Amino acid sequence: MLLVLAGCGGQRGGEGGEAAQEPTTCTVDSDTRLSIATGNTTGVYYSLGGALAEAIGKSSGGKLKATAAETSASLQNIQQLVAGTHQVAFSLADTAADAAEGKESFDEPQPIAALARLYPNYTQVVARTDSGINSIADMRGKRVSTGAPNSGTEVIANRMLQAAGLDPAKDIQAQRTELGKTVEGMKDGSIDAMFWSGGLPTSGITDLFTSQRGNVKFIDVAGTLDKLKEINTIYEQGVIPAATYQTPEDVPTVVVPNLLLVKDDMDGNTACVVTKALFENKAELVKVNKAADGINLETARQTEPVPLHPGAKKALDELGAKS
């Protein structure tokens, strides 16, 4: 996939491409299918993606027929967005920044744009209580799930391991598995610890703490923040409230925003309609998962270094005028 991207995905739109994106009416007249790249089925991206697909259909009078697709999340989502497999994609902002700037997993800047900044993702690092793991440094030699291949979880997991002085390729027994299989491995003891980057609450993590109360615990990873910020200033300190998973106390952690992405040459009216659907149907998204509460107009434009799509700008301007 990366070779395909290097060959055809890294070129920005040609002259005049920006003008072609400009919205005119913020309505769509013809039937169009949209595939939304989300994440695995036990994560927040997938549940919110399904709700967003319904909202898009409703907001477009049925003209935009959207469906949510299960994926490995951020990195794969951007790869497949650029390749044309999907037209809308959820992504962690750090992975999206790498794509926009053409670094880390991307050989050159990718032709992506943002519709909005979404809710924050919380890095949720869990260890079995019998594993002897009380910090990331204690993961040396252990069986650790770093998330699905080409996921945003894998990106931040590897960066945190490196920040703790570990080589992800040599110093741990990396289990590159999606959340559902990871949770099962934590339950049966075949995995000692796991990384997950997701909204609060994430159903898979709720399941783990509900079924394994006393057998699993959160690890405080806030000590990696300074080194993470050297890579990207978008990382921030956050807290997983005790009430989220009924843990004994709040857990300090690292948070990173999510973005909703499209290719930068998406039709402006389509981009405008999708963006409006996101905010006008926020209450329905919150019913699906409380993480959607973090979606708001005040922070929606904070997507740099990923440029805001002109259609999204028009939508946010109009939504702001109404509020």
- What integer pLDDT is reported at residue 322 of this predicted model? 78
- What integer pLDDT is reported at residue 150 of this predicted model? 85
Using one digit for the tens of pLDDT, what is the confidence trace for 147-206? 999 888 999 999 999 999 999 999 999 999 999 999 999 999 999 999 999 999 999 999
Residue 74: pLDDT above 50? Answer: yes
166 with 250, same domain: the answer is yes
- What integer pLDDT is reported at residue 20 of this predicted model? 47
Confidence grade of residue 1 (pLDDT, cut at 50, 70, 90): very low
In a domain, 17, yes or no: no
In a domain, 127, yes or no: yes
Using one digit for the tens of pLDDT, what is the confidence trace for 26-58? 999 999 999 999 999 989 999 999 999 999 999
Residue 12: pLDDT above 50? Answer: no
168 with 242, same domain: the answer is yes
* Integer Cα distance of 120 and 197 in angstroms: 10
125 with 252, same domain: the answer is yes
Q: What percent of the chain has pLDDT over 90?
A: 87
CB 138, CB 217: distance < 8 Å = no
In a domain, 16, yes or no: no
115 with 141, same domain: the answer is no
In a domain, 10, yes or no: no
Burial tier of 226 (Cβ tally within 10 Å: 0-12, 13-18, 19+): exposed
Hey, how many other C-beta atoms are within 10 angstroms of the C-beta on 230? 10
Q: Which distant-in-sequence residues (6+ apart) come within 8 Å of 319 by Cβ?
A: 276, 279, 280, 297
Q: Is the peptide bond before 111 cis (omega within 30 degrees of 0)?
A: no
101 with 199, same domain: the answer is no
Q: C-alpha angle with apex 114: 111 to 116, nearest 5 degrees?
A: 175
47 with 67, same domain: the answer is yes
Nearest to 106, CA basis, from 2, 4, 11, 12 = 2
Burial 232-266 (b: 16+ CB within 10 A, else e): bebbeebebeeebbebeeebebbbbbbbbbbbbbb
- What integer pLDDT is reported at residue 21 of this predicted model? 65
- What integer pLDDT is reported at residue 69 of this predicted model? 97
Residue range(s) defining the domain that contains residue 193 = 121-256
Which of residues 12 and 288 earns the better pLDDT score? 288
Q: What tokens appear for 168 in the block?
A: 């992800």
- What integer pLDDT is reported at residue 22 of this predicted model? 77
- What integer pLDDT is reported at residue 52 of this predicted model? 98
Residue ending a domain, choose from 256, 273, 303: 256
Using one digit for the tens of pLDDT, what is the confidence trace for 220-256? 999 999 999 999 889 999 999 999 999 999 999 999 9
282 with 262, same domain: the answer is yes
In a domain, 74, yes or no: yes
237 with 126, same domain: the answer is yes
Question: What are the distances in angstroms from CA 38 to CA 125, 183, 198, 323?
Answer: 21, 19, 12, 29
Output the domain CATH number for residue 133: 3.40.190.10
243 with 268, same domain: the answer is no
- What integer pLDDT is reported at residue 19 of this predicted model? 40
In a domain, 6, yes or no: no
Q: What percent of the chain has pLDDT over 70?
A: 93
Confidence grade of residue 323 (pLDDT, cut at 50, 70, 90): low
In a domain, 144, yes or no: yes
- What integer pLDDT is reported at residue 242 of this predicted model? 97
Residue ending a domain, choose from 234, 256, 278: 256
Could you tell me the pTM of the whole model?
0.87
Nearest to 76, CA basis, from 164, 186, 178 = 178
52 with 137, same domain: the answer is no
In a domain, 2, yes or no: no
* Integer Cα distance of 81 and 71 in angstroms: 11
252 with 290, same domain: the answer is no
Determine which of 5-14, 140-149, 198-207 has the lowest per-residue pLDDT on average.
Answer: 5-14
> What is the tally of structural domains in the chain?
2
- What integer pLDDT is reported at residue 308 of this predicted model? 98
200 with 313, same domain: the answer is no
Report the pLDDT averaged over residues 101-112: 96
Q: Which amino acid is at 204?
A: G
Residue ending a domain, choose from 256, 271, 292: 256
